C-alpha cells in the first residue's frame, strides 16, 4: 500500500468538483466536438438569477446554453459531452448533454425560475441521455442501467444525504458509480451521524479517490477534510480543519 501524502490529497481535493453555486470555480472546462469553448459563470447571490450558474460562450454574459440550480455538479463525459448530477427527490439524477446541440437562451428565461421550483437543471434542449439512481439503495454493489452516452465515464463519486433511522445511523453516503461497468457501490459514512455532527449545517460537499493508495477522501463543510479507511465507510483521520 502506497504511503498517504496528505499534501497531495489537499491539492487534489482543491480541484475536485463541488456543488453549485459555492464551488462553481471547480467546474471543468467544456470544449465541444466542433471546438467551441464554453465557460461557466456565477450570477451572484441576489436578484432574479441569484445563485444560478450558467454555461455559455465567452463574452456573452446575457445568454447561456445550460443553467444549474443549487447542489448540481457537472462532469466531463468523454470525448466531448458534459454531464450533470443532482438530487431529484429521493433519487440522484444524471443527465448528459452535447454542447454543440445546446440551444442558447436569454437569461431572462430563468429569472425567478429556480426559486419556486424544485428543478435543478434548465436547458432549451433536452438531454441526449439521462437516468436516476434511488437513494434508498442498501449498502452493497448494485447493477444499474447506464445509457450508452454516459458509459465512457469510468468512476463518479457522488456524496449524498442518506436516510438515517436514528441519531446513530449514517446520515450521509458516498455512491460510487462505475458507469462503464453499469454498477453503483453504496458506502454509508458510518462516522457521520446526527449524534456526532450538525446534519444540514455540516455536510460532505465533495470526495475523491487517491490514485496512489486508492483510498477515498473528502471535505466535510464546517469540519474539515478527511481520509477514510480502506473500507470507504469509516473515518481514518482528519487531514485538516475547516478554514
Residue 241 is predicted with a pLDDT of: 85
- Cα dihedral sign for 48, 52, 55, 57? positive
Below-50 pLDDT ranges, the chain: 1
Residue 48 is predicted with a pLDDT of: 84
Biggest distance spanned by C-alpha atoms of the chain: 53
Dist. CA 227–CA 209, nearest whole Å = 10
Residue 109 is predicted with a pLDDT of: 87
Q: Tens digit of pLDDT for each residue in 32-73?
A: 898 889 999 998 888 888 889 999 988 777 799 999 999 999
Residue 1 is predicted with a pLDDT of: 43
Confirm if 121 and 113 have CB atoms less than 8 A apart.
no
What are the backbone dihedrals phi and psi of residue 77, each rounded to the nearest 5 degrees, phi first?
A: -120, 100
Q: How many CB atoms sit inside 10 A of residue 116's CB?
A: 7
Q: What does pTM read for this prediction?
A: 0.94
What are the backbone dihedrals phi and psi of residue 242, each rounded to the nearest 5 degrees, phi first?
A: -60, 145
Residue 124 is predicted with a pLDDT of: 92
SS3 8: helix
| Apex 56 CA angle, 206 and 49, nearest 5 | 70
Amino acid at each position: 500500500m502506497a504511503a498517504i501524502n496528505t499534501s497531495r490529497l489537499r491539492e487534489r481535493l482543491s480541484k475536485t468538483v463541488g456543488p453549485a453555486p459555492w464551488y462553481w470555480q471547480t467546474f471543468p472546462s467544456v470544449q465541444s466536438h466542433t471546438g467551441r469553448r464554453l465557460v461557466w459563470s456565477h450570477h451572484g447571490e441576489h436578484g432574479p438569477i441569484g445563485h444560478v450558474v450558467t454555461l455559455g460562450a465567452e463574452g456573452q454574459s446575457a445568454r447561456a446554453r445550460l443553467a444549474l440550480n443549487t447542489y448540481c455538479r457537472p462532469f466531463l463525459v468523454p470525448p466531448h459531452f458534459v454531464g450533470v448530477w443532482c438530487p431529484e427527490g429521493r433519487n440522484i439524477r444524471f443527465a448528459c448533454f452535447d454542447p454543440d446541440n445546446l440551444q442558447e437562451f436569454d437569461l431572462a428565461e430563468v429569472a425567478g425560475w429556480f426559486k419556486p421550483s424544485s428543478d435543478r437543471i434548465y436547458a432549451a434542449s433536452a438531454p441526449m441521455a439521462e437516468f436516476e439512481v434511488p437513494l434508498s439503495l442498501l449498502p452493497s454493489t448494485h447493477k444499474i442501467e447506464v445509457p450508452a452516452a454516459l458509459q465512457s465515464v469510468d468512476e463518479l463519486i457522488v456524496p449524498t444525504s442518506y436516510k438515517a433511522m436514528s441519531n446513530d445511523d449514517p446520515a450521509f453516503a458516498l455512491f460510487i458509480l462505475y458507469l462503464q461497468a453499469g454498477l453503483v457501490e453504496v458506502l454509508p459514512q458510518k462516522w457521520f451521524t446526527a449524534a456526532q455532527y450538525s446534519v444540514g449545517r455540516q455536510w460532505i460537499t465533495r470526495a475523491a479517490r487517491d490514485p496512489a493508495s486508492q483510498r477515498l477522501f473528502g471535505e466535510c463543510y464546517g469540519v474539515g477534510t478527511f481520509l477514510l479507511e480502506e473500507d470507504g465507510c469509516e473515518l481514518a483521520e482528519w487531514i485538516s480543519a475547516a478554514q
